């Protein structure tokens, strides 16, 4: 696809580490579509979180301790609410805030429900909260979040905006795994109804799935043996999640470690932009 970039978008791309190259027209007019050709270091600008959705008060169950050994005693997880599929945004956010369906509730400081415009056309799905997200109750507020914000700004999206620039950002897991370990399959399974309901309520025109846990959670019903497919092989195609187009891309934390793949992430964003434009507005 071709994507005409204005000066602001070019600046954002520079900040995300993707150099924009465009040949000068013989007349001296630079009228060719810009192409990403090169990678550079991750941005270091401090992040200013812009929260749109109010945060619900999180219930953190008290851990029980063995009186002899002082070791934490695992508590029995309680069931998920039965009526998630009928919840509106506030009810869903309250349900997540009080969720004790898996052991992650014991270590959390905050649940991380999601942020952005609940009318947005774009949904970005990440993996799970890290330390900063757990402290602030908002997804992608650390270094990976700065990169994500710059990538989104390069295609005209902003987590603090509404309307055409609006985007909603959520994770597969709403609670931080201890020491940022990978999500466990049973944790993903417990949290899945919350993400499913977020998609139903949002009805986005495009979902951008960042990293293998987002891809696996969203595409497990439509892509056979997805757990065995490398993320790179899921890129460049338009998948489906409950009727919504899904584009798979690299997780920003991976891109911070592997900046040479930022140009591929930029190509994924351009594909998502192209697909979103072709989906009729709801
Ligand atoms: N990584 C994620 O996948 N989500 C966050 O919210 C932060 C880091």
Radius of gyration of the chain (CA): 20
Which of 55, 139, 168 to mutate for ligand 1's pocket (most ligand atoms within 8 Å of CB)? Answer: 139
Distance CA 200, CA 204 (A): 8
* 139 Cα nearest atom in ligand 1: 6
Supply the pTM of this predicted model: 0.81
For ligand 1, the distance from its centroid to the CA atom of residue 28, given in whole angstroms, is 43
CATH tag, 63-70+81-278: 3.40.470.10
Does residue 239 contact residue 246 with C-beta atoms inside 8 Å? Answer: yes
What is the DSSP track for 12-34? Answer: HHHHHTEEEE-PPPTTS---SPP
- For ligand 1, the distance from its centroid to the CA atom of residue 253, given in whole angstroms, is 8
Residues ≥6 apart with Cβ < 8 Å to 260: 39
DSSP annotation of 109? S
Per-residue pLDDT of the chain (282 residues; tens, 9 = 90+): 446 676 666 766 776 667 654 433 333 322 222 333 322 333 333 333 333 455 566 666 555 555 665 655 445 468 999 999 999 999 999 999 999 999 999 999 999 999 999 999 999 999 999 999 999 999 999 999 999 999 999 999 999 999 999 999 999 999 999 999 999 999 999 999 999 999 999 999 999 999 999 999 999 999 999 999 999 999 999 999 999 999 999 999 999 999 999 999 999 999 999 999 999 877
Coil, helix or strand at residue 182: coil
Q: 246: part of which helix (H) or strand (E)? A: strand 244-249
Q: Can you give the residue ranges of every domain in the chain?
A: 63-70+81-278
């Amino acid at each position: 696809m071709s994507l005409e970039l204005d000066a602001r978008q070019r600046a954002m791309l520079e900040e995300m580490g993707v150099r924009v190259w465009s040949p000068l027209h013989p007349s001296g007019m630079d009228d060719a579509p810009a192409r990403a050709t090169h990678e550079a270091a991750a941005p270091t600008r401090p992040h200013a979180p812009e929260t749109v959705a109010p945060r619900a008060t999180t219930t953190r169950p008290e851990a029980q301790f063995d009186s002899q050994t002082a070791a934490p005693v695992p508590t029995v997880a309680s069931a998920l609410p039965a009526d998630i599929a009928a919840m509106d945004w506030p009810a869903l956010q309250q349900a997540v805030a009080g969720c004790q369906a898996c052991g992650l509730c014991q270590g959390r400081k905050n649940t991380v429900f999601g942020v952005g415009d609940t009318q947005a056309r774009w949904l970005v799905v990440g993996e799970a909260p890290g330390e900063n997200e757990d402290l602030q109750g908002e997804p992608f507020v650390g270094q990976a979040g700065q990169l994500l914000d710059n990538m989104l700004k390069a295609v005209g999206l902003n987590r603090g905006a509404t309307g055409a620039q609006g985007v909603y950002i959520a994770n597969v897991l709403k609670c931080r795994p201890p020491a940022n370990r990978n999500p466990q399959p049973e944790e993903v399974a417990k949290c899945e109804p919350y993400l499913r309901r977020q998609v139903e309520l949002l009805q986005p025109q495009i979902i951008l799935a960042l990293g293998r846990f987002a891809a696996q959670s969203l595409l497990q019903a439509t892509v056979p043996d997805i757990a065995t497919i490398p993320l790179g092989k899921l890129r460049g195609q338009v998948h489906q999640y409950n009727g919504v187009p899904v584009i798979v891309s690299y997780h920003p934390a991976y891109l911070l470690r592997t900046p040479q793949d930022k140009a591929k992430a930029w190509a994924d964003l351009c594909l998502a932009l192209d697909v979103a434009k072709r989906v009729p507005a709801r």
